[in-house]
Amino acid sequence: MTPPAGRQAGRQGGVTLAMVARRAGVSPQTVSNAINAPELLRPDTLERVQQAIEAMGYRPHRAAQALRTRSSRLIGYGIQSVAVDRSTPVMDRFLHALTQTAEEAGHRILLFASPTGPALLSAYQELLDTYSVDGFVLSDTTRGDPRQAWLEKHGVPFAAFGRMWTGRQIGDFVDIDGAAGIEAAVDHLVELGHTRIGFLGWPRGSGAGDDRALGWKRAVQRHGLPSRGRRAESTDEVAHAAAAVEPLLDAGMTAIIAASDTLAMGCYRALRDRDLSPGQDVSVVGFDDSPAAALVSPGLTSIDQPMTTVGRECVRLLLARVADPAREPEHVVLAPTLVVRESTVTPPSDRLTP
Amino acid sequence: MTPPAGRQAGRQGGVTLAMVARRAGVSPQTVSNAINAPELLRPDTLERVQQAIEAMGYRPHRAAQALRTRSSRLIGYGIQSVAVDRSTPVMDRFLHALTQTAEEAGHRILLFASPTGPALLSAYQELLDTYSVDGFVLSDTTRGDPRQAWLEKHGVPFAAFGRMWTGRQIGDFVDIDGAAGIEAAVDHLVELGHTRIGFLGWPRGSGAGDDRALGWKRAVQRHGLPSRGRRAESTDEVAHAAAAVEPLLDAGMTAIIAASDTLAMGCYRALRDRDLSPGQDVSVVGFDDSPAAALVSPGLTSIDQPMTTVGRECVRLLLARVADPAREPEHVVLAPTLVVRESTVTPPSDRLTP
DNA sequence: CTCAGCCATTGGAGCGTTCAAATGAATGTA
DNA sequence: TACATTCATTTGAACGCTCCAATGGCTGAG
C-alpha cells in the first residue's frame, strides 16, 4: 500500500483523464467508461486502466463532470438563519448523519443559510442555478411551509425531515412518531404506579407539538386515567414552563410529561421552588434526550429521537428520488425510544415508608 | 420588483452568458467582464449588460467557472467522525457563523466527515482534487495535529479554530483566551467574598485544558489565595467529575470553577449527594455557556465563548489568505465573557443570618 | 467468400466560463 | 497626412469531462 506516485498534492496538480489514458494506452473515453460503466470494458483492459488510475492517483474533477452532466453530486442543506432553539441541541447528530451517509454514496453536503421570509425560495433557486445541486434536504419544516410545493413544482428532488401537517403530503419525508414516544412514557409511568399524569406542551398550532399532546391524551384515556384540564401550554422557555406547570402541580399530578427537555427543566425549577424534588416527589419526563438530560441531577428520563437514522433516511430517500424522479413518494416514520433515568420513580404514595 | 422573467426555475434551464450577451448585443466576454471587472466597460455598455442580466435572471454557473479558474468558491469543513462531545454543544453556533460569513463573501461551506487516523489527510486531498475547494477551516485541533503542517506544505489555504500548543505556530488561527475567561471568573468570585476557590479541570495534556488551569493558578496567586492541592482532574463525564470534585469539597472550598459545563454539572451532582445546594452552599462556574447552563436550576454561571465571532474570523482569515497566499500569518485571540447566573453568590460565612 | 450483426473502443463535439491575444475605433503627436 | 497610443470590445482557445455517433475487428450465418 504505497501512496500514489507521481501525484502532486498541491493546488494545481491535476492528473487528468487524458493523462491516465495515455499511460494505459487507451482513449480518454475508455478511462471514463472504466469508472462509470466498467461492464463495457474487456476484463484485461479494465484491469490495465484501473492500474493506471491507481498508480497516478487519478480522481475525476467534479467541476468538469458537473459541467457536462449537470449533476454536481452536491446536496443542499439550509441551516436556519436565526437559531430556532427548539430542537437545536440534537441537530448536530442529524447533520453528521447527513454528511456521513451522503459521503458513502459519493455525495457531499453543501450548506447555505436558509433565509426567512420572501427570500427563502430564491436561496434554493440560487443553489440550483449556480451549484447545480442534485437536491435538497429540508428540516425545521413548518405548517404551511412553502418549500415542498415549490420544489415539487420545479421538479427538484428533496427529502424533508418532518411531515406536512396540513393538506396533502408532498414528496418524500422522514419523521418521528412523537405520539408513540409520549405513549411509551405514559405506559412507563403507569407501570411505576402513577395515575395522575399531566402534560406540559407547546401552544397549539405546531404539528409536532400537537402530535405529542395527542399521544398523551390517547394513552391516558387508554389507561382510563383523567385527562381533562390536565394539560398546560408554554413556549419553549424555562421560566414560562415553570409558570405553566403550576396548575398541574396544584391539581396533584404525581408525574409530568413535557414536550421538550427545556419544558422539563421548567418543571424541575417549579418543583424546587416548592421545595419538592424532581423524581423523588414528582416524576418528570422530557423529550429530545438532549445532552442536558444526562447532565442534570436527577438525570432526566427523556424520549430519544433517532436523529442518526433520520439523517441517514433523508439521504437515502433523496438519492432514490434523484435516481428515479417518477417513483412513488416514500414516507418513513420512526419510533423514538424512552431513555429512563432517575427522574421517574414510583409515586410517593406507593412507596413503603421506612 | 417583479421576479426575473424568462427564467425557468427547473432542473435544466440555464440562462448562459451567451444568451445574455445576445440580448445585450455584446460578446460573451463583455458580459463576463461586466461581472468580474466592470471598470473595463464603458458606463453605458455596463448599464445595458446589467439590465440584461437582471431581466433574464442570469447567474454564473459555478462548475464552469471552477473548471476554468480552478477555484470553486467552496470552503471545506470536516466535521468529526466520532462525536467528540467536548465542545459539541456550542459548535452549531460556529458552523452557522461559518456558513453565514462565507455566504456574504460569495462562498459556501462544503461538509465532509473528517476521518480519524491515517485516512485523515487523504480526505483533505480528495476535496482538493475533486471539488477544488479554495481552502479549509479546521476545528477540534489537537496537540500535534498533522493537518496544519500538511496543508502548509502543499500550499493550501486554511484557518484553524484553535492554536497549536506545541512547537511553532503554523498558519492562521483564531482562538479563545481561556485563561483570561477563568481569571475573570476568579475575580468575580473574589468580589463576592470567596477565598477558597478550587479548580476542576481535564487531565493534563490538552492545550485548551491546561490553558484554563493556568488562568486559575495565575488569578488565585494574584489575589494571594491558596492554590496548591486545590486542583482536581477528570475526563468529561458527569460521574467522573462528581467523584473528582470530592477532595475539593472536603478541603472546604466555597467555590469551584470547572473547565466545562459538563464538569460543572458533576459538581452539582456531588453537592446534592452531600445535601448541599449549588450556589447556596458552594458556588459553581462552568465553561462554554452551553444551552444546559441556562436550563438547570440554579442557572449556571458560565464562561461564554464568542463562537459566532470565532466562525466569522475563521472565514475572514481564510479568504484573506486565499487572496494573498504570501501575507503574514494572522492570529486572533478572543476574550470570552462571564455570564453570571444564580450558581455564584456570596459565600455562606459572609451572609447575614436572618 | 461475403456481409450482417455484435462487441470493444475511439473521435469529435460541446457543457459555460475566462484567459490571452487580437481587433478596431478614437485620440494625440509629429 | 501618417503613425503611435490608448481604450473598449471581440475572437479563439482551453479547462476536464461525458455524450453521441462512428470505427474497426471479430464471429457466425448464408
Distance CA B147, CA B120 (A): 8
**CA distance, residue A209 to nearest chain B CA (Å):** 20
CA of A291 to C1' of C27 (A): 74
CA distance B61 to chain A (A): 5
**pLDDT-derived band of residue B116, with 50, 70 and 90 as boundaries?**
confident
Mean pLDDT confidence for B4-11: 42
Whether CB of B18 is under 7 Å from strand C: the answer is yes
Cβ contacts (< 8 Å) between B85 and chain A: which residues? 291
- Say if residue B336's pLDDT is above 60: yes
Q: Do B272 and A297 touch (CB under 8 A)?
A: yes
**Strand nucleotide closest to residue A35 (CA to C1'):** D18
| A155 contacts in chain B (CB < 8 Å) | 10-11
Cβ neighbour number for residue A205 with a 10 Å cutoff: 10
- Dihedral sign, CA of A34, A40, A42, A43? positive
Most confident of B81-90, B196-205, B213-222: B213-222
Q: What pTM does this model have? A: 0.92
- Predicted local distance difference test score (pLDDT) of residue A81: 65
Q: Mark the nucleotides of strand C covered by protein, meaning any atom under 7 Å from a CB.
A: 7-12, 14-20
Residues 9-68 of B with CB under 7 A from strand D: 25-30, 33, 40-42, 45-46, 64, 67-68
3-class SS of residue B111: strand
For residue B239, which residues of chain A lie inside 8 Å, CB to CB? none
Looking at residue B277, its pLDDT comes to: 93
Q: Is the CB of A42 under 7 A from strand C?
A: yes
Banded model confidence at residue B91, pLDDT cuts 50, 70, 90? confident
Find the residue in A nearest to B294 (Cα).
Answer: A238
Q: Could you identify the residue whose CA is nearest to the C1' atom of nucleotide D7?
A: B40
**Position B9 pLDDT exceeds 50:** no
Q: Can you give the distance from the CA of residue B43 to the C1' of nucleotide D5 in angstroms?
A: 22
Residue A207: the pLDDT is 87
- Of B159, B46, B154, which Cα lies nearest the Cα of B101? B159
Nearest Cα of chain B lies from the Cα of A103 at a distance, in angstroms, of: 7
Residue A183 to chain B, least CA–CA distance (Å): 25
Q: Is the dihedral of CA B17, B22, B25, B27 positive or negative?
A: positive
| Whether A62 and B131 lie within 8 Å, measured CB to CB | yes
Rounded percentage of chain A residues whose pLDDT exceeds 70: 91
> Taking the CA of residue B306 as centre, how many other CA atoms within 13 Å lie in the half-sphere pointing to its CB?
16
C-alpha cell at B49: 449588460
Report whether pLDDT(B84) > 70: no
Share of chain B above pLDDT 90, in %: 77
Work out the percent of chain B whose per-residue pLDDT is above 70: 91
| pLDDT(A300) > 70 | yes
pLDDT at residue B105 in the model: 96
Q: Are A259 and A202 in contact (CB under 8 A)?
A: yes
Whether residue A99 and residue B110 make contact (CB cut-off 8 A), yes or no, is no
Please give the residue that has the higher pLDDT: either B119 or B7. B119
Closest C-alpha among B292, B267, B250, B278 to residue B348: B278
Of B83, B99, B261, the CB nearest to A112: B99
CB-count exposure of residue B346 (10 Å: 0-12, 13-18, 19+): middle
Q: Which residues of A141-178 are buried (b: 16+ CB within 10 A; e: fewer)?
A: beeebebbebbeebebbbbbbbbbbeeeebbbbbbbbb
Q: What angle do CA A223, A184, A236 make, to 5 degrees?
A: 110
Q: Residue ranges of the alpha helices (H) in A105-206?
A: 120-131, 146-153, 178-192
Residue B21 is predicted with a pLDDT of 96
| Cross-strand bridge partners of residue B255 | B197, B283
**Nearest-nucleotide field for B27 (CA, C1'):** D10
Q: Please state the φ and ψ torsions of residue A137, each to the nearest 5 degrees.
A: -110, 130
Shortest-distance nucleotide from A26 CA to C1': C9
Q: Which residues of A touch B100 (CB under 8 A)?
A: 81, 113
* Cis omega (within 30 of 0) for bond into A28: no
* Shortest distance, CA A89 to any CA of chain B (angstroms): 7
Q: What is the pLDDT of residue B8?
A: 43
Average pLDDT over residues B67-89: 81
Average pLDDT over residues A265-282: 94
Q: Is the pLDDT of residue A230 over 70?
A: no
**Which of the 8 DSSP states describes residue B59?**
-
CB A232 within 8 A of CB A201: yes
Per-residue confidence (pLDDT) for residue A7, from 0 to 100: 38
Under an 8 A CB cutoff, do B131 and A63 touch? yes
Write down the pLDDT at residue A9.
45
The amino acid occupying position A92 is D
For residues A260, A262, A267, A270, the Cα torsion angle rounded to the nearest 10 degrees is: -160
* Nearest nt to the A65 alpha carbon by C1': D17
Q: Among A277, A295, A292, which residue's Cα sits nearest to residue A344?
A: A277
Which pLDDT score is estimated for B234?
A: 73
Q: Is the pLDDT of residue A201 over 60?
A: yes
Has residue B224 got a pLDDT over 70? yes
The contacts of residue A122 (CB under 8 Å, 6+ apart) are: none
Residue A174 C-alpha cell reads as: 422522514
pLDDT digits (tens, 9 = 90+) for B238-252: 888 888 899 999 999
Instruction: Confirm whether any atom of chain C, the nucleic acid strand, is less than 7 Å from CB of A130.
Output: no
